[in-house]
Structure 1
Amino acid sequence: MCKKWLLLGLVLGTLPAQAATVIKLGHGANENFHMSRAMHEFERLVEERSNGEIDVQIFPSSQMGPDREMIESVQTGILQMAVSPSSIYENWDPAFGVVELAYIYPDKKTALQVLEGPEGQALLDRLEPLGLVGLGWLQSGMRHITNSTRPIDEPSDLEGIKLRTMKVPAHVDTFDALGANPTPMNFGEVYSALQQGVIDGQENPLSIINTQRFHEVQDYLTLSRHVFTAYIPAISKPFFASLPREQREIVTTAMNDAIEFDHHLVEKENNKHLEMIKEAGVEVTRLTDEQYAAFAEIANEVNLEYRDGIGAKVFDSWMAAIDDQSDQ
């Protein structure tokens, strides 16, 4: 009998200890998307650095609901973390609308420098009254236009094109001013709507256009770089505060490293996404600086209409930061 209990004790002693802390993390991307892979890197780093004391459980592809619902789940404690586009936070604080205004960043490098500077941190700090802690800025890169009607070289080419946009008022107003027929639509409906001709086109980063196979049902791609899309990994403030200091540091540093991993993936794979889109037979248009300026001039008039709603101080500081980076 003693040998039996001794053997059982040895067996139990070899089983891995159950994690004391569970972090449930939801996001809307599929498993092939670079942000999703970056979150798996976050999971690996946290579990490794905590020696298994923290168990990160990831729920991709909107398994925990659309972005707004996921954020509300973090606020109520159903989830501990969510990774959502920064524009979603306009539902709580209009200042977040400044990040994804159209044609404000001359390039991706400038956008990242602003996000990772004082203005970006000040915006993340505005999450705390919402019961959230922003852990940084993930990127999805610059958004571009696809359609099946005609090449887009100038604003007049958008005339009458039914274009799916996100449910972001500034995006809708910008494309309306450019002459398109902007059509907000849930992301999960876009492929079938393009395939069935319900809409003529859509706008997204190259990584999404490729991984979501939109290029299979589109004929033209314009590298319009009209909006920079950023994602915010947000964690519940009460939950984060409840963690021991060492675990808070593990979560923070692991997310910093995962963000760098995400940036590396975007930079490494962007050209590959573009080549795959071209190989599918899509005609690609690159805008010259003059062509880009024609779109930007119209968009700027729309952006100024949002200055007061966003907050003049936030708007002006953000634009000044962009100018400062552009001048360097």
Structure 2
Amino acid sequence: MKKLLITTAVSLLALSTSAMAATTIRIGHGANETYHLHRALQKFADNVETKSNGKFDVQIFPSSQMGPDREMIESVQSGMLQMAVSPSSFYSAWDKSFDVVELPFIYPSKEVALRTVHSDAGDDMLKRLNNINLVGLGWLENGVRHVSNNSRPIKTPEDLKGLKIRTMKVPAHVKTFNSLNASATPMNFGEVYSALQQGVVDGQENPVAHIYSQRFYEVQDYVSLTSHVITFYIPTMNMEFWYSLSAEDQQLLLDSMRLAEDYQQQLVSTEEGEQIKAFMEAGTKVNELSQEDLQIFIEATEPVRAEYKANLGPEVYDSWMNAIKAESEKS
């Protein structure tokens, strides 16, 4: 009888332990661990684990450990990975509407861009992900993109003439730099430092925080604050996994992501000035562009915007531009 009681107790303990096992959420992204995105995702993970009393175990895999962005997104679609955090432009491989988010010189400021993606227009864009077996949890900053190179400061489109500039593998970005007289050279993010170091490309374009965290400034003589494109990450989750969660748990994930978004903005605003200072201390020359200078770039890239307006149609293009205008008027 005693043996039976002991066996029963052990079995009940095993069942209890199994019931209490945490649900694992694995998140892949391409940035390194010092980048503000990774630290924002750590904030997300901490909040989810704490508020759920350990019901979830959130594991973050930076630096493309889960593969390049397209591969990560496909892993989430198939359910092999629960979450990926990739630039919004990569989702245009499945839905061209996402091209409109990262067109050149469409936002008058980063603040307006942030308000636009968090508006009804941004929510409608995220809903499109449901058609490809994904759920979008929000918008995280990738950043305002600038040009670095080893030849000269960039003040006009003419200064880009003949320079090989690494871009993301995003058609709109490639078209933008080709329209500015440069030779756009798409390349995986992990290859950029060595390509700059070995002179395979003359320069690259990225937000200040990426130039800093990836130490591109060590192998670049000039950083020009061109602000040509503002980019975002979209954290996406496998749809089946999402709908396996309770409404309460879904809300916890959404609330935690919004907390991460706010925390990321604090990091960016606190650190960007110091990062630019670090470039200059390392001997990299930094130049800003006046509004008059930027206007020349805006005019030079008008054909790119016109092409995407024709291709995407008014439902997508005009709706997004109207949302930007509405948010601009709130300033």
Question: TM-score, normalising length from structure 1?
Answer: 0.94
Structure 2 residue 298 is matched with structure 1 residue 296: yes
2-structure distance, mates of 1:209, 1:307: 31
Matching residue of 1:197: 199
Determine helix, strand or coil for the equivalent of 2:224.
Answer: strand
- Structure 1 residue 92 displacement after superposition: 0.1
Determine helix, strand or coil for the equivalent of 1:79.
Answer: coil
2-structure distance, mates of 1:293, 1:16: 62
Alpha-carbon displacement from aligned partner over 1:256-311 (angstroms, at most 9, x marks no partner)? 11111111111111111111111111111110000000001111221111113233
Contact 1:95 1:311 in 2 (8 A): no
Alpha-carbon displacement from aligned partner over 1:138-159 (angstroms, at most 9, x marks no partner)? 0022000000001111110110
2-structure distance, mates of 1:50, 1:19: 12
- Structure 1 residue 59 displacement after superposition: 1.2
Matching residue of 1:130: 132
Matching residue of 1:280: 282
- Structure 1 residue 324 displacement after superposition: 2.4
Contact 1:19 1:55 in 2 (8 A): no
Question: TM-score, normalising length from structure 2?
Answer: 0.93
- Structure 1 residue 41 displacement after superposition: 0.8
Matching residue of 1:215: 217
Contact 2:87 2:142 in 1 (8 A): no
Structure 2 residue 142 is matched with structure 1 residue 140: yes
Higher mean alpha-carbon deviation, 165-174 vs 80-89, is at: 165-174
Contact 1:146 1:221 in 2 (8 A): yes
Alpha-carbon displacement from aligned partner over 1:140-197 (angstroms, at most 9, x marks no partner)? 2200000000111111011001100011111111111110011001111110110111
1-structure distance, mates of 2:284, 2:21: 48
2-structure distance, mates of 1:246, 1:122: 22
Matching residue of 1:250: 252
Q: How many residues are aligned here? A: 323
Structure 1 gap ranges (5+): none
Matching residue of 2:118: 116
Structure 2 gap ranges (5+): none
1-structure distance, mates of 2:30, 2:306: 31
Contact 1:96 1:310 in 2 (8 A): no
Q: Which amino acid aligns with 2:43?
A: E
| CA RMSD of superposed structures (Å) | 2.0
Structure 2 residue 207 is matched with structure 1 residue 224: no
Correspondence for 2:180 among 153, 178, 181: 178
Q: Which amino acid aligns with 2:230?
A: F
- Structure 1 residue 312 displacement after superposition: 2.3
2-structure distance, mates of 1:213, 1:20: 37
Q: Which amino acid aligns with 2:287?
A: T
Q: Which amino acid aligns with 2:134?
A: L
2-structure distance, mates of 1:249, 1:325: 26
Structure 2 residue 53 is matched with structure 1 residue 51: yes
- Structure 1 residue 18 displacement after superposition: 4.9
Contact 1:153 1:291 in 2 (8 A): yes
2-structure distance, mates of 1:139, 1:96: 15
